[in-house]
Amino acid sequence: MINRRTALKQTALAATALAGTGTLPALAQNAPPAPPAAPTGPFTLPPLPYPADALEPAIDARTMEIHHGKHHAAYVAGLNRAVAGHPDLAAKPVETLLRQLQSLPEDIRTAVRNHGGGHANHSLFWPSLKKGGGAPSGELARALDTAFGSFNAFQQQFTQAAMGVFGSGWAWLTWDGTRLRIESLPNQDSPFSQGRVPLLGLDVWEHAYYLKYQNRRADYVAAFYTIINWEFVAARFREARA
Ligand code: MN
């Protein structure tokens, strides 16, 4: 039976043996290899098109910093991990990957859906916001009137879509090739994967608003209407129909 003193002695002897006989390098060789460095591309985090505090008070600076610098960055990293070892896919724009989701290799399909969707959705979100939003004009304004009855009716229906997201997701204004639609999609699912072009999206994940609004999603949605960059949305609308 090994008593405590014997055990201590054996431990000490073992330590001496390790220190004295060159066993340490052997142990190091048996250690698991260091994990490969995380891929830094091909997808990259686009810079915010304005300072983090530009959208105050609708969206506070701290939320912008974390949302862009941590959440969006994590989607970019996840997408890069997913396409590592798939040079053919890594060469395609993320929108193309999302349109072709069903034809992607099964083992990376979910990762591209989540992280690729997250990257595409947020890349669209930042430039669609600006200080002092206003209202749409021109062709887009007429198209919104035709599709939804009026700009007010558009806002009501879009708000309903945003408030109706259970859990995490987005409300979307999309173009389906024929008409404008309002819809909501769960998680980071992209309208591209539904065969539609996203024109304007509202992120209603709690990470988008919880620091300032806590559970008051309705207040966040109301504030969103004061910071929509309608010129950007109109340009996407023109491109989608071209
Ligand atoms: Mn988000």
Asked whether residue 118 falls in the same domain as residue 167, the answer is no
Q: pLDDT per position in the chain (242 positions), as tens?
A: 445 554 445 544 444 444 444 444 555 556 666 766 778 889 999 999 999 999 999 999 999 999 999 999 999 999 999 999 999 999 999 999 999 999 999 999 999 999 999 999 999 999 999 998 889 999 999 999 999 999 999 999 999 999 999 999 999 999 999 999 999 999 999 999 999 999 999 999 999 999 999 999 999 999 999 999 999 999 999 999 99
Classify residue 46: in a domain, yes or no.
no
What is the DSSP pairing of strand 169-175 with strand 180-186?
Answer: antiparallel
Classify residue 34: in a domain, yes or no.
no
Contacts of 49 (CB under 8 A, 6+ apart): 126, 127
Asked whether residue 99 falls in the same domain as residue 150, the answer is no
178 alpha carbon to ligand 1 midpoint, in Å? 28
Classify residue 162: in a domain, yes or no.
yes
Last residue of a domain, one of 108, 128, 148: 128
Asked whether residue 155 falls in the same domain as residue 197, the answer is yes
- Helix/strand/coil for 85: coil
Torsion region of 124: left, alpha or beta (phi above 0 gives left; psi -120 to 50 gives alpha)? alpha
68 alpha carbon to ligand 1 midpoint, in Å? 8
19 alpha carbon to ligand 1 midpoint, in Å? 52
64 alpha carbon to ligand 1 midpoint, in Å? 10
7 alpha carbon to ligand 1 midpoint, in Å? 55
127 alpha carbon to ligand 1 midpoint, in Å? 14
E strands present in the chain: 169-175, 180-186, 197-203
67 alpha carbon to ligand 1 midpoint, in Å? 6
Both structure tokens of 7: 């055990």
Q: Contact, 234 vs 140, CB < 8 A?
A: yes
210 alpha carbon to ligand 1 midpoint, in Å? 11
Both structure tokens of 130: 């600006």
Last residue of a domain, one of 128, 152, 168: 128
Q: What is the CATH number of the domain that holds 123?
A: 1.10.287.990
Q: Which domain holds residue 101?
A: 61-128
Last residue of a domain, one of 99, 128, 157: 128
173 alpha carbon to ligand 1 midpoint, in Å? 17
- Helix/strand/coil for 40: coil
Domain count for the chain: 2
138 alpha carbon to ligand 1 midpoint, in Å? 30
202 alpha carbon to ligand 1 midpoint, in Å? 9
AA letter at 60: D
32 alpha carbon to ligand 1 midpoint, in Å? 36
Handedness of CA 98, 100, 104, 110 (dihedral sign): positive
Classify residue 16: in a domain, yes or no.
no
Angle, to 10 degrees, between the axis of helix 230-241 and the axis of helix 138-148? 80
CA 73 to chain centre: 8
10 alpha carbon to ligand 1 midpoint, in Å? 56
Asked whether residue 154 falls in the same domain as residue 202, the answer is yes
176 alpha carbon to ligand 1 midpoint, in Å? 24
Asked whether residue 76 falls in the same domain as residue 102, the answer is yes
CA 205 to chain centre: 10
Asked whether residue 119 falls in the same domain as residue 149, the answer is no
Classify residue 215: in a domain, yes or no.
yes
Encode pLDDT of 197-219 as tens digits.
Answer: 999 999 999 999 999 999 999 99
